[in-house]
Chains A and B, each alone.
Chain A
């Protein structure tokens, strides 16, 4: 299939998701409120900590807010575009409904990942972007068009990392059938992405900053916006996102080979 055909399939999925959302309007508002509430909790935490101190690991209040906003932005993008697709993949592998995706003429990973869009998650990307914008404004930052585009490119790398981590998590279903609650491990990693890299010491630094992409994912884009673009950092993030994406795709295909359908 050509790229054009994939785009058409994706657009059809988008249309289907929007129609569905308009059918269940109350659900849309309720789930938007849920995500908004959790985001507010994180912003409040920053607010409370900085009532008692001026800097955390060298980050001022609004720098920290910008970091938290960036982390939320990446997470909302994952929620909006991929979360329920990958989440349901786990369930479908268990029930055998996954056959349906394999029977389609496109790339199975593409088909699995893009079936649905969650407008509530996407609506909250604007709130997260608002937090980033407000923090940048309070810091007196004027990144210009190039700065903003570079920041967005780094956020996109972050999205690739989050996607890969979550795909790796749900792909375990191919081996261990009973994986309800496994998505908890993804959230655990995300929790670390709201912390400044400089706060990590010793083993935590080696493990969470260098081995797992938990911290770089948000720190590199936020750092670029605050202190200006540094090619070395950007290359680091780009390399990490490429490596984790390759690993996730590899594991997914390995799992695919094991998949033997289920039920009758």
Chain B
């Protein structure tokens, strides 16, 4: 069986098992609408009497936050770290160590199938409220944004997943990893621009944020498709930095994996 067929099957099985959770994803999507309401109310009040905040209109800011919701369901890591940690803890991982399958690629394929399901389902709640927020949104129509946005999304997904993978592997050393996961999630949420668009930070801090990987996990693709990054050259540079971060993350993941395996005692199974 060649490698592609192998992972295609993993993807198809993953698709089926994630379709079981369709209601879960849908409910989560509708909860996200409440968060969007918080954003609209807060920023709507902040914009009162102002035409621009940080150089962007209210429409552009609403568009940014709406796009974030779609992107979270398309490329975000949900509980992959927890799942991986559980597989290590209860010994389910042992079966993969004995088979000719790469655990990272296996988990990444499952992640892709999960995001395929949630990435499509998120459009249900978004379409439901679309008539209400249609006039508030201002999507730029440039073709180059989509052209560069697509690889930026794939790279963001790789970054998000690989970070989650690394955190999951901490289960080789710690019995309980939820604390680490939620702590890193707080940092990631803030530094990837999910609380506020990063360009509203003081310039020095904004610059500093660009040196961190979190910037490329969500803010960069979101800013690209919603018109907060307007220079195609800067966008291509951003893509290049994303590639470097992905490479670095993969190396780190490989290192943690190999070190962790040596600690692994293969309980249960």
Give residues in A with beta carbon < 8 Å to B: 27, 30-31, 33-34, 37-38, 41, 44-45, 48-49, 51-53, 56-57, 181, 184-185, 188, 191-192, 194-196, 198-200, 204
Picked from A34, A48, A188, the residue with its CB within 8 Å of the CB of B179 is A34
Task: Determine the residue in chain A with the shortest Cβ distance to B23.
Answer: A178
B1-31 residues with Cβ-Cβ distance < 8 A to A are: 24, 27-28, 31
Task: Determine the residue in chain B with the shortest Cβ distance to A31.
Answer: B179
The CA of A161 and the CA of B215, in the complex, are separated in Å by 38
Contacts of B34 in A (CB 8 A): 188, 191
User: 30 A-B Cβ contacts within 8 A?
Assistant: A27-B179, A30-B180, A30-B183, A31-B179, A34-B182, A34-B186, A38-B186, A41-B190, A41-B195, A45-B196, A48-B196, A49-B42, A49-B46, A51-B200, A52-B46, A52-B54, A53-B46, A53-B53, A56-B45, A184-B28, A184-B31, A185-B31, A188-B31, A188-B35, A191-B34, A192-B37, A194-B38, A196-B45, A199-B42, A200-B41
Contacts of B24 in A (CB 8 A): 181
Contacts of A53 in B (CB 8 A): 46-47, 50, 53
* B48 interface residue (CB < 8 Å to A): yes
A218 to chain B, nearest CB (A): 13
Secondary structure call for the A interface: helix
Task: Determine the residue in chain A with the shortest Cβ distance to B205.
Answer: A48
A50 to chain B, nearest CB (A): 9
* B100 interface residue (CB < 8 Å to A): no
Given A48-B201, A195-B42, A199-B45, A37:B183 Cβ within 8 A? yes
Task: Determine the residue in chain A with the shortest Cβ distance to B52.
Answer: A52
Picked from B37, B182, B186, the residue with its CB within 8 Å of the CB of A204 is B37
How many residues of B are in contact with the other chain, CB < 8 A? 32
* B202 interface residue (CB < 8 Å to A): yes
Give residues in B with beta carbon < 8 Å to A: 24, 27-28, 31, 34-35, 37-38, 41-42, 44-48, 50, 53-54, 176, 179-180, 182-183, 186-187, 189-190, 195-196, 200-202
Given A37-B186, A48-B196, A57:B35 Cβ within 8 A? no
Contacts of A48 in B (CB 8 A): 196, 200-201
- If A41-B190, A57-B48, A181-B24 are given as contacts, then 19 extra A-B residue pairs at C-beta distance below 8 Å, sorted by A number, are A27-B176, A30-B180, A30-B183, A41-B186, A41-B189, A41-B195, A44-B190, A49-B200, A52-B53, A56-B45, A56-B46, A181-B28, A188-B31, A188-B35, A191-B35, A196-B45, A198-B45, A199-B42, A199-B44
Check B41–A204 contact: CB distance below 8 A: yes
Given A181-B24, A181-B27, A30:B54 Cβ within 8 A? no
Contacts of A204 in B (CB 8 A): 37, 41
The CA of A69 and the CA of B196, in the complex, are separated in Å by 19
Check B179–A30 contact: CB distance below 8 A: yes
Given A34-B182, A41-B190, A51:B46 Cβ within 8 A? no
The CA of A188 and the CA of B179, in the complex, are separated in Å by 21
6 closest cross-chain pairs (CB), A and B: A199-B45, A37-B186, A30-B179, A57-B45, A188-B34, A52-B53
Contacts of A56 in B (CB 8 A): 42, 45-46, 48
Task: Determine the residue in chain B with the shortest Cβ distance to A27.
Answer: B179
The CA of A33 and the CA of B181, in the complex, are separated in Å by 12
A32 to chain B, nearest CB (A): 10
The CA of A37 and the CA of B180, in the complex, are separated in Å by 12
Contacts of A44 in B (CB 8 A): 190, 195
